Amino acid sequence: MARASRLTESASAVFAVLAGAGTATRPQLATLAGLSKPTVSSAVAELENARLAAHSGTASSGTGRSAAVYRLGPAAGAVLAVDLGPAFTRVRGCALDGTLLAQATGSREGAADVVRQALDGLPDGAPLRTIVVAVGDVTVPQKRGTGVRPATAKAGPVFDAMAVALPPGVPIHLENNVNCAALAELHEGAARGRDTFGYLRIGVGIGLGIVVGGRVLRGANGAAGELARLPYPWDVGREPAQEALEEYIGARSLLRRAAEAWPDEDGPCPRTAEQLFALAGKGRAAARAVIGRHAADVGRLAAAVTAVLDPGLIVLGGSTGADPQLLPGVRAELARLSWPTEVVSSTVGDLGTVVGAARLAVSRGVQTVTDAGGKKD
């Protein structure tokens, strides 16, 4: 990894503002950074000398005067976001202003090849500032191999196989995949304009991304929102089992219930959740009944989330949760059990996790440059 130049405080501030704006003139940078025009002029010159900023044209004002426009320079570098999903690996490479530079998708087992493909698409010579890997496990930093590793065995082997393709010396940050998807909903999806909400993912597994005041709540162990650990069942004579709630609400149990209730006269029972929802959408009574029960179960889980967080908004995502057919049942059950809470379907789709991971990677990448600052002006 190329080391960032040691910048002055003002140059660090201007770099962060320019990364967020994409392009800007010196007067705009002065306003956004809260610095004087002479200070910004000096900072821009410093960034240009370090190739962290570059001239990209001119802009005319209403008075007819023109001003130089600046963008990030070639030494600003890039970041990488990796979504190690349950079936697919999705990778995005972005500039520090968020511009998409490269992307690749492939199987989970072929994660290393997908990473290499995305890395090959990055501009030659662009320093890689940081890597964010989204996994489905609670994670902790460990001194092993690349310096970090998923805390549980679920993603560990896949992570290790993927990590061999990552460039050495680049900081790697692990993030819960549901938290990444929640970030995507916050900035680009169904929760835009809302700074507090819950992103409830329902698929093979379940999880909750909690956003409060525009920031993801991670918890003391990075495990906030691990709904699979809620005690279930909770009844006389029945002992809760670890992750029993996830097993009950997850897609595998949904299909098992469909098989148990499927009438012979309706033909073959659907083998996937997608087939089940498609039949329900066509009005098949058996499929609609199973989906209705599933919606009520999800509504009860949403009521539990609302009781603890009172988020005001719940965004339903995941392979089954995002289907709009669930909305009426979820809303009805939540209204029956709790106070009024808006419920909507995710709008970012399958790309939500890698989109959110890329946004987080960009933020951390900018930080690697600005943290190198600190010299007094």
Tell me, what's the pLDDT at 145?
A: 42
DSSP character string of 24-72: EEHHHHHHHHT--HHHHHHHHHHHHHTTSEEEEEEEE-TTS-EEEEEEE
pLDDT at 267: 87
Specify the pLDDT at position 42: 96
pTM beyond 0.75: the answer is yes
Question: Cα–Cα distance between 363 and 167 in angstroms, integer?
Answer: 20
Q: What is the DSSP string of 138-190?
A: -EEE--STTSEEESSTTTHHHHHHHHTTSPTT--EEEEEHHHHHHHHHHHHST
d(CA 289, CA 71): 55
Give all domains of the chain, ordered by start, each with its CATH number. 9-75 (1.10.10.10), 77-178+353-367 (3.30.420.40), 190-347 (3.30.420.40)
pLDDT at residue 195, as a whole number? 95
Strands (E) across the chain are located at 23-25, 53-60, 66-72, 78-84, 88-95, 100-107, 128-135, 139-141, 148-150, 172-176, 197-202, 206-212, 215-216, 313-317, 342-345
pLDDT attached to residue 1:
47
pLDDT at 373: 56
Q: How far is CA 33 from CA 14, 44, 72, 269, 367, in A?
A: 6, 12, 16, 61, 16
Sign, CA dihedral 310-316-317-321, equals positive
- Answer yes or no: are the C-beta atoms of 113 and 107 closer than 8 Å: no
Radius of gyration of the chain (CA): 24
Question: How confident is the model at residue 366, as a pLDDT?
Answer: 96
Which structure tokens are listed for 273? Answer: 């959740």
- β-bridge partners, 66: 60
State the 10-residue block means of pLDDT for the chain, 377 residues long.
71 96 95 96 96 88 77 96 92 97 95 95 93 77 45 64 90 93 96 97 95 94 90 90 93 95 90 96 95 97 97 96 97 97 95 96 95 62
Q: Which amino acid is at 372?
A: A
Ramachandran class of 154: left when φ > 0, alpha when ψ lies in -120 to 50, beta otherwise: alpha
| Calpha distance 277→288 (Å, rounded) | 8
